[in-house]
């Protein structure tokens, strides 16, 4: 099998501006951010690299952190004042006129905010996972659809060149995946909410969801899961109330099989993939996505190979693509819709259900 070479530019091919659309792409877009945690900082940094993106307001219960982020924006733009800061996202939505809202909250805080955003903004980007339960996400989707809102989910890996290439390779005739193997074994995240499964959903829902989402994107829908969870090994982490590790077997609609393992250990491990990896195997090819950056190495049965390194700032790539899709009113340009992300949530929650019941769970 012949593997074509790929240019490793810092701009994804899908972000190239088509002729006649430059004016739309460059128009100023006014953005509101809800949330002040780690991922909010990543999106603020990314948006500061996009000239036509203007962060108008930041809302969060941690107003000191919100002020810090607003100050960063003011300094970067050399402005006398930064974005307006709100302790209450509802007040922000009531007072601001926004082209897009970024909902960057932990799982337990989703629900009402999405319904409100659907009424107030034409475009909304929601951090993964969409919620800690299926009903909350389904109600949010219904609100978005009723309002005609462009609603997307921040599964940023779908915006990577490497993941797009893996999807392309395994969409070729005769190259359907047979086996999918994923691993997310990383140190324990610091937030207190993350360590409480009733808030975060656990590591399979909150972190390994990235691997499940890529697996669905490349290999198709998952129709059945069977899971085991382990507890009692981590006894020295304050407030720890979630699974120590989980192993999940999956059956895809195509007939392919998958296996995911996830857990928290002090260090990433001896390999160079940071404890994160996803491998696809077919009758004629093996492809591995490695590390948080999802760098790709693919090799065919005849020895032909190709590699794609990670982008410099995937949040910038994601935010540029989301804002372009919003400006052009072309939701199809963004590869992760809210509706599709809900299917990923359904799979991860089914794994939790299986681990709790001891029985396999089929998905409709």
Q: How much helix, strand and coil, in percent to the nearest 5, is found in the chain?
A: 40, 25, 40
The overall average pLDDT reported for the chain is 91
Under 8 Å CB-to-CB from 78, ≥6 apart: which residues?
none
- In whole angstroms, how far apart are CA 262 and each of 31, 86, 273? 35, 37, 14
Q: Is the predicted pLDDT of residue 4 greater than 70, yes or no?
A: no
CB 249 within 8 A of CB 227: yes
pLDDT band at 206 (very low <50, low <70, confident <90, very high): very high
More confident of the two residues 338 and 272: 338
CATH entry, 13-155+317-335, from 3.30.413.10, 3.30.830.10, 3.40.50.720, 3.40.50.300: 3.40.50.720
The pLDDT score that the predictor gives to residue 327 is: 95
Note the maximum CA span of the chain.
61
Q: Is the predicted pLDDT of residue 21 greater than 50, yes or no?
A: no
CA distance 219 to 178: 9
Domain with CATH 3.30.360.10 in the chain: 157-311+344-362
More confident of the two residues 5 and 344: 344
The CA R_g of the chain, rounded to the nearest whole Å, is: 20
Q: Which CATH number is 157-311+344-362 given?
A: 3.30.360.10
CA distance 117 to 338: 13
CA distance 194 to 351: 18
């Amino acid at each position: 099998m012949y593997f074509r070479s790929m240019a490793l530019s810092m701009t994804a091919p899908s972000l190239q501006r088509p002729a006649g659309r430059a004016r739309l792409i460059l128009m100023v877009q006014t953005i509101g951010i809800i949330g002040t945690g780690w991922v909010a900082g990543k999106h603020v940094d990314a948006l500061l690299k996009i000239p036509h993106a203007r962060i108008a307001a930041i809302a969060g219960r941690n107003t000191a952190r919100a002020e810090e982020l607003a100050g960063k924006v003011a300094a970067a733009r050399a402005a006398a004042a930064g974005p307006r800061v709100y302790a209450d996202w509802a007040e922000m939505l009531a007072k601001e006129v926004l082209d897009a809202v970024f909902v960057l909250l932990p799982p337990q805080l989703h629900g009402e905010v999405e319904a409100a955003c659907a009424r107030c903004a034409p475009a909304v980007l929601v951090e993964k996972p969409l919620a800690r339960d299926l009903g909350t996400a389904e109600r949010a989707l219904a609100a978005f659809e009723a309002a005609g809102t462009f609603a997307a989910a921040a599964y940023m890996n779908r915006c990577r060149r490497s993941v797009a290439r893996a999807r392309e390779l395994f969409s070729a005739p005769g190259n359907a995946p047979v086996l999918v193997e994923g691993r997310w074994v990383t140190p324990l995240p610091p937030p207190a909410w993350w360590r409480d499964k009733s808030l975060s959903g656990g590591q399979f829902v909150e972190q390994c969801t990235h691997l499940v989402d890529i697996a669905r994107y490349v290999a198709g829908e998952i129709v059945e899961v069977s899971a085991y969870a382990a507890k009692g090994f981590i006894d020295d982490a304050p407030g720890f109330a979630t699974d120590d590790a989980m192993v999940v077997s999956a059956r895809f609609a195509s007939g392919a099989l998958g296996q995911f393992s996830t857990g928290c250990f002090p260090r990433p491990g001896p390999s160079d993939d940071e404890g994160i990896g996803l491998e696809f195997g077919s009758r004629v090819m093996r492809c591995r996505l490695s590390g948080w950056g999802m760098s790709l190495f693919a090799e065919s049965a005849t020895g032909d190979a190709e590699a794609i390194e990670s982008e410099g700032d995937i949040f910038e790539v994601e935010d540029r693509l989301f804002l372009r899709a919003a400006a052009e009113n072309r939701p199809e340009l963004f590869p992760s819709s809210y509706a599709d992300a809900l299917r990923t949530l359904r799979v991860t929650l089914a794994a939790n259900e299986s681990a709790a019941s001891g029985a396999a769970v089929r998905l409709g």
